C-alpha cells in the first residue's frame, strides 16, 4: 500500500497495517489471560453488573475545557508532487464532542446524569457544540459564552484508519473574569446535587488554581470525591483531591522520573501521591493497561484490548467510568477494572468514541467469567 510505504519511510521502521498496535509481535492471548486473572481477583461478574446498574442513579458534575473534535476521513493513493506528504482524498467529515464534553458524553452514554460547567466561544463551533449536547439531552445551562475567544477545535485527518496529522485552533489566554464568575456560580448551584465532581483539564484556560480551590472548598465539607484528568503544567493545582488520572508520559514528567520499567513506575506513582496528598493516583499506560496507587499499595491491571485503532478520547472514557463507578459505590480498585474494560472497548473504535452499558456489561461477561 502506498500510504503504508509512506509511513514506513517517514518513521524509518515497520508499522503494521490496519490497527495501530504499540507492540507489534507478541503473545496476545497469554497477556489477556494474565490480565483476566488479575481483574477477577479485584472484581467478580455479579458485583460488576451491580455497579453498572447503579450508573443510572449517579450524578456527576464535570468542570473543564470544552472541545470540538473534527475528523476528516479519506484515503491516500498518491504522494504530493509539491512536497513529500500524502494527498488525502476526503470521503467524510464528522464533528464529535471532545475534552470535558466527551467526558459528559461518556457518562450520558452509560446512563448516568451529568452537569457540565465550561466555556465556549461566541462562534458557530460553540453554538454547534451546545446544539449537539442539547440533542443528546445533556444540560447546557452551565456553559458560558466568551465572545472574545474561539471555541477550541481539534481537527484530525485520518486515512486508512491511521491519523496523518492533527491541527488545533484555540486560545489559551485567561478567560474573562465575568465569564468565570458565571461558571463558578453554576458550580456552586449544582455541586450539592452531585455525587462526585470531575475536573477535565486540557490547559485551554478553564481550569485554574482558583477554580480548583473553589471545587475543594465546595466538596470538602461533605467529603465528596473529586477526580482530576490532569495536565502536567497544572499538577500543583490538584493537591488534596481524591484521584488524579495521568497517562504514563504525564506521570513521568510531573514526577521528574523517567518511567522505563515497573520499578521506576512505582517510584513515580508514589512520589506523585505524596506530592499531591491525593487519596489515589491512576496511571493509564496504553498497551500496558493501568496502575492504581492507593495509600501504600499499588495494583497493575493489564489491558484487554486486542487491537488499538484510535486512542482519541480514551482518557475521557476512563475518567467518566471511574466517576460513575465511584458514585455507584465501587471501590477504587473495582472502578479501575471497569474503566480498564471500557478503555479496551473505545480504543478498538475509530474516532472519539463512547461506551454503552450493554457493551460494558458484555465485556464484563466476556472477560471476568473466564476465571469466575
Amino acid 372: pLDDT: 42
Give the three cell numbers for residue 288.
500496558
The answer to whether the beta carbons of residues 85 and 7 sit under 8 Å apart is no
The DSSP bridge pattern shows strands 59-64 and 196-200 to be parallel
Tell me what the mean pLDDT of segment 208-225 comes to. 95
* Domains present along the chain, CATH in parentheses: 29-67+96-151+172-368 (3.40.1190.20)
Are 309 and 19 in contact, with CB atoms under 8 Å apart? yes
**Residues 206 and 338: beta-carbon distance below 8 Å:** no
Q: Count of CB atoms within 10 A of residue 113's CB?
A: 20
The cell 496529522 sits on which residue?
A: 165
Provide the pLDDT for residue 370.
55
- CA 138 to CA 195: how far, in whole Å? 17
pLDDT at 16: 36
Confidence at residue 272, expressed as pLDDT on a 0 to 100 scale: 98
Asked if residue 240 has pLDDT above 90, the reply is yes
Q: Name the catalytic one among 65, 146, 195, 316.
A: 316
Write b or e for each residue in 9-36: b if 16 or more Cβ atoms lie within 10 A of its Cβ, otherwise e.
Answer: eeeeeeeeeebbbeeeeeeeeebbeebb
As a whole-number percent, the residues of the chain with pLDDT over 70 amount to: 85
Q: Assess whether pLDDT exceeds 60 at residue 280.
A: yes
Give yes or no for residue 11 having a pLDDT over 50: no
> Is 316 labeled as catalytic in the residue annotation?
yes
Amino acid at each position: 500500500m502506498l500510504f503504508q510505504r509512506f509511513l514506513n519511510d517517514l518513521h524509518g521502521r515497520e508499522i503494521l497495517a490496519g490497527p495501530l498496535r504499540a507492540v507489534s509481535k507478541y503473545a496476545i492471548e497469554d497477556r489477556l489471560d494474565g490480565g483476566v486473572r488479575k481483574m477477577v481477583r479485584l472484581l467478580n461478574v455479579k458485583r460488576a453488573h451491580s455497579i453498572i446498574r447503579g450508573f443510572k442513579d449517579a450524578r456527576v458534575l464535570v468542570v473543564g475545557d470544552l472541545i470540538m473534535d473534527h475528523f476528516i476521513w479519506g484515503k491516500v493513493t498518491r504522494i504530493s508532487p509539491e512536497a513529500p506528504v500524502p494527498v488525502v482524498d476526503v470521503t467524510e467529515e464528522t464533528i464529535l464532542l471532545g475534552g470535558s464534553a466527551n467526558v459528559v458524553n461518556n457518562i450520558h452514554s452509560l446512563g448516568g446524569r451529568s452537569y457540565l460547567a465550561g466555556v465556549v466561544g461566541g462562534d458557530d463551533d460553540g453554538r454547534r457544540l451546545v446544539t449537539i449536547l442539547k440533542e443528546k439531552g445533556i444540560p447546557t445551562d452551565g456553559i458560558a459564552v466568551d465572545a472574545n475567544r474561539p471555541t477550541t477545535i481539534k481537527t484530525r485527518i485520518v486515512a486508512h484508519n491511521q491519523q496523518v496529522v492533527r491541527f488545533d485552533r484555540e486560545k489559551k489566554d485567561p478567560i474573562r473574569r465575568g465569564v468565570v464568575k458565571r461558571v463558578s456560580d453554576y458550580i456552586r448551584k449544582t455541586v450539592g446535587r452531585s455525587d462526585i465532581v470531575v475536573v477535565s483539564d486540557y490547559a485551554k484556560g478553564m481550569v485554574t488554581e482558583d477554580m480548583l480551590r473553589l471545587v475543594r472548598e465546595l466538596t470538602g465539607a461533605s467529603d465528596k470525591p473529586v477526580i482530576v484528568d490532569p495536565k502536567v503544567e497544572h499538577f500543583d493545582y490538584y493537591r488534596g483531591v481524591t484521584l488524579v488520572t495521568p497517562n504514563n508520559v504525564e506521570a513521568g514528567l510531573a514526577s521528574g522520573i523517567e518511567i522505563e520499567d515497573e520499578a521506576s513506575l512505582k517510584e513515580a506513582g508514589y512520589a506523585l501521591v505524596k506530592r499531591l496528598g491525593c487519596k489515589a493516583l491512576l496511571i493509564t499506560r496504553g498497551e500496558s493497561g493501568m496502575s492504581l496507587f492507593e495509600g501504600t499499595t499499588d495494583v497493575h491491571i493489564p489491558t484487554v484490548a486486542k487491537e488499538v485503532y484510535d486512542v482519541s478520547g480514551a482518557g475521557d472514557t476512563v475518567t467518566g467510568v471511574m466517576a460513575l463507578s465511584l458514585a455507584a459505590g465501587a471501590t477504587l480498585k473495582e472502578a479501575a477494572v471497569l474503566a480498564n474494560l471500557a478503555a479496551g472497548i473505545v480504543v478498538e473504535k475509530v474516532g472519539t468514541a463512547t461506551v454503552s452499558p450493554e457493551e460494558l456489561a458484555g465485556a464484563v461477561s466476556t472477560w471476568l467469567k473466564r476465571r469466575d
